[in-house]
Structure 1
Amino acid sequence: MNPVAPAAEVADLVSRRPAGQSLQAPFYVDEEFFTLDIEAVFARHWLFVAAEAELPEPGDYVTVTLGSYSVIVVRDDDEGVRAFHNVCRHRGARILDEGRGSVGNIVCGYHRWTYGVDGRLLHAESQAPGFAPSCFSLRSVHARTVAGLVFICLAEEPPADFDEVAARIEPYLAPHNLAKAKVATQIDLVEHGNWKPTMENNRECYHCTGPPELQTCYFPIYGYAEQDVPPALRPAYERFQRADADARATYESLGLPYAAIEGLDTRATGFRIQREPLDLAGESFTPDGTAACTRLLADFPTARLGRRSFHLQPNAWFHFLADHAITFAVIPLGPDRTLVRTTWLVHADAVEGLDYDLDTLTKVWKATNEQDAVFVNRYVTRLKAHLEQKR
């Protein structure tokens, strides 16, 4: 295959894909298709990159690398969140090498060009007369915050539908007060596979009955229409029906929106959001379903609010519960390497060891992520073997 696949070749491969089936193997394993993924998907759409809780103070930053792009996401002195290309305007050097940290100013280590956290060039030594610092600010990247979540878009003209998406999802997210939460912990897991199976696993969920830790608090009837529920699952379905009726009554009494909204393949910013009950105690992702943190995220009168699930294409999903929230950011590192960054958020005043135990808080999704990583690796390994046989 050519170093960079021509657009016509890509279009041909897409057109020959049987409806309802996966893309052909090269899309999951070849370098040229990874490059196209970055340019055609990740450089053109809104991406989730961090929770605001990861940037609690002015000068706090995270960096995100997507193919040849590196982006600084930073809290400015006015408490806003900004994003800039991580490229010095002098010699094009990368400025910040760490994944996260805190700065007073943003200083390039090459020639000490110094920028404020608002991106303005503050200092550039030994410049010619007439040099205009205002012409050499850091290049901005579009950044938005929605109810405590930070999104960026690398495109010069971002998808115009994000305002509408934000308006629709914010009422679901805002009650959890995420902008005032804190990070309990964050785990980076590198899956040895392409980013597409990672996102497909989350979206199609055929394998969701596999992870035993996750199944303890999920009703095992996901995807079944009532008439298709097998006899063995009928008791679980009836238990779900009772829990769902109770949950809807609670949601309505508290003014919490819960109806599913889905627009995955009909718009630029594909998303799905819904609030629904959990099994057992119905409070959290724990072995018995009870709250993992006794200090709730917000002033909820009950911890039994189930889960508010949110999926955003192309790179994120989220779970909001009464006691904590979990964010999942998917960052492609290469054709066969994908970073899954999972962040657990709790009330700002929650105390580890007193209000929550970290192992209990993270057990379900830590185990589920690790199991999913195995599935992704198996899938991509098989595709590579298939291609090698053909070659």
Structure 2
Amino acid sequence: MLNTLPSPISSLLDTRIDGHSLPAGLYTREDVFQADMEVFFSRHWILLGLECDVPEPGDALVIDIGSTSLILLRDDDNEIRVVRNVCRHRGARLLDAGSTVVSKLVCPYHQWTYELSGKLSYAPHMGKDFDKSCRSLKAVNFKSISGLIYVCLSDNPPQDIKRLEEVMEPRLAPYDIRSAKVAHQLDVIEKGNWKLTMENNRECYHCSANHPELCVSFVDLDFGYDPYSLSPEDREEAEAHFAMYTERTRDWEADGFPSSPVEQVRNCETNFRTQRLIIAGAGESQTEDSTAASSKLLGTMTRKDLGDTHLWGHNSWCHFMGDHAVTSIAIPLSADTTLIRTTWLVHKDAVEGVDYDLAKLTHVWTETTKQDAELVARAQAGIQDPGYEPGVYSRFTEGALDDFASWYIERMRAHGY
């Protein structure tokens, strides 16, 4: 009788070849998905949301990560908190998924009531000797890095997030993301594994053929090219572009705006990359004509020529420009389904229809996200085909994918797989 049991996950990890995409089972198998949730979405820092998702005391946002449900909220002292959405009585969910406004957190089941600090204040019919002090809602480790809320569900979160904090706090300070306003939010379901989502985001090999809106403001050379495939004229143009990059980066940094690339992508726990990128065309913003979408610039910004400060994490990508910011968070729903939550941010005092046009603000990344969803679905369908075998990455345009796949293997090994 043939053995139909799946091979151990470790065997799949063993078969990965450097410079190649992952074996099919790492994108498709249910046991791998559960391991991914345990390792990458429980024991590592993930981007969960933004301080400006909950701008006022009493504002709360529920986000589900697998079987875990979290409440991001702002308490009565205007402090951010993240607590588990689990009543300390018999475990009922306190709030439904999505945004709401509350004065207290009241369990719908038996009316146990918690202050916004998480402290249990009311537990009817529990007797005079019942000790409420040890029944507070369970808090979750989190860090607000310039208004970006990172959480780790582990009691021993990775310490190397300090590097991310050290790099990004000064880079994002002028944008004042903590005080920004959510102008729009879009949820898109991708029919693909979360790793395919992240791989798709980490290369622009596919951009010129699939993202006409984005390519107005993106410079495809910035994401790699094969110098041997270029004509002498195109090679000269590429060399001139990168000479300009060196000069522009030097000028930005001389003006007090950190811009050089910083990578922590291998031999680490907290995976991230950041760089200030040149915006093509008019050079102001990621819009359909590359001009600013909002006349009221973010935070203390006074210039529109400071490019795009991008930030990658293992479940997110963000772009910060003078006039607005775009954050995208990937939340796995199943082995072949991923939620992408994209949020557009503007200055807290910007008024729609006066300071910014919502359609112009959102058009590029709305279209790009929909296009990427189609591409990820195609990739997932192909990987499920018996004809799939891991493909070789382009060393010119897909180096970041090799870094990501290698980091993925490293982290799985580190956690016993």
8 A Cα contact 2:216 2:289, kept in partner: yes
- The residue aligned with 1:284 is 285
What TM-score do you get using the length of structure 2 for normalisation? 0.87
CA distance in 1, matches of 2:264, 2:155: 24
Q: Deviations over 1:237-285 (max 9, x none)?
A: 3663475356335413430000100011121001101112111111101
Distance 1:357 1:11, change over 3 A: same
User: 2:99 aligned with 1:103, yes or no?
Assistant: no
User: 2:114 aligned with 1:115, yes or no?
Assistant: yes
8 A Cα contact 2:310 2:318, kept in partner: yes
**One-letter code of the match for 1:328?**
S
Counting only pairs closer than 5 Å after superposition, residues 308-387 of structure 1 correspond to structure 2 as: 308-313=309-314, 315-386=315-386
8 A Cα contact 2:104 2:114, kept in partner: yes
CA distance in 2, matches of 1:37, 1:4: 20
- The residue aligned with 1:61 is 60
CA distance in 1, matches of 2:237, 2:100: 47
Q: CA RMSD in A?
A: 2.3
Q: Deviations over 1:351-383 (max 9, x none)?
A: 111111111111111111101100111111122
CA distance in 2, matches of 1:326, 1:196: 21
Give the Å deviation of 1:171. Answer: 1.1
User: 2:230 aligned with 1:230, yes or no?
Assistant: yes
- The residue aligned with 1:24 is 23
Of 20-29 and 242-251, more deviation after overlay is shown by: 242-251
Distance 1:337 1:355, change over 3 A: same
Give the Å deviation of 1:134. Answer: 0.7
Of 239-248 and 177-186, more deviation after overlay is shown by: 239-248
8 A Cα contact 1:4 1:32, kept in partner: no
Higher relative contact order (CA 8 A, sep 6+): 2
CA distance in 2, matches of 1:263, 1:245: 21
CA distance in 2, matches of 1:89, 1:25: 41
Distance 1:249 1:110, change over 3 A: same
Q: Percent identity?
A: 42
- The residue aligned with 1:219 is 219
- The residue aligned with 1:162 is 161
Of 233-242 and 60-69, more deviation after overlay is shown by: 233-242
8 A Cα contact 1:181 1:348, kept in partner: yes
Alignment gaps of 5+ in structure 1:
none
CA distance in 2, matches of 1:148, 1:84: 17
CA distance in 1, matches of 2:297, 2:102: 32
SS of the residue corresponding to residue 183 of structure 1 reads strand
8 A Cα contact 2:277 2:309, kept in partner: yes
- The residue aligned with 1:192 is 191
Distance 1:273 1:157, change over 3 A: same
- The residue aligned with 2:412 is none
**One-letter code of the match for 2:309?**
R
Q: Deviations over 1:98-153 (max 9, x none)?
A: 31111111111010111111111011000033110011111111111011111111
Counting only pairs closer than 5 Å after superposition, residues 196-211 of structure 1 correspond to structure 2 as: 196-210=195-209, 211=211
8 A Cα contact 1:244 1:277, kept in partner: yes
- The residue aligned with 1:268 is 269
- The residue aligned with 1:126 is 125
User: 2:252 aligned with 1:251, yes or no?
Assistant: yes
Distance 1:66 1:299, change over 3 A: closer
Counting only pairs closer than 5 Å after superposition, residues 73-88 of structure 1 correspond to structure 2 as: 73-88=72-87
SS of the residue corresponding to residue 206 of structure 1 reads coil
CA distance in 2, matches of 1:339, 1:86: 20
SS of the residue corresponding to residue 220 of structure 2 reads coil
What TM-score do you get using the length of structure 1 for normalisation? 0.93
Distance 1:223 1:285, change over 3 A: closer
CA distance in 1, matches of 2:302, 2:64: 41
CA distance in 2, matches of 1:229, 1:174: 41
Distance 1:256 1:339, change over 3 A: same
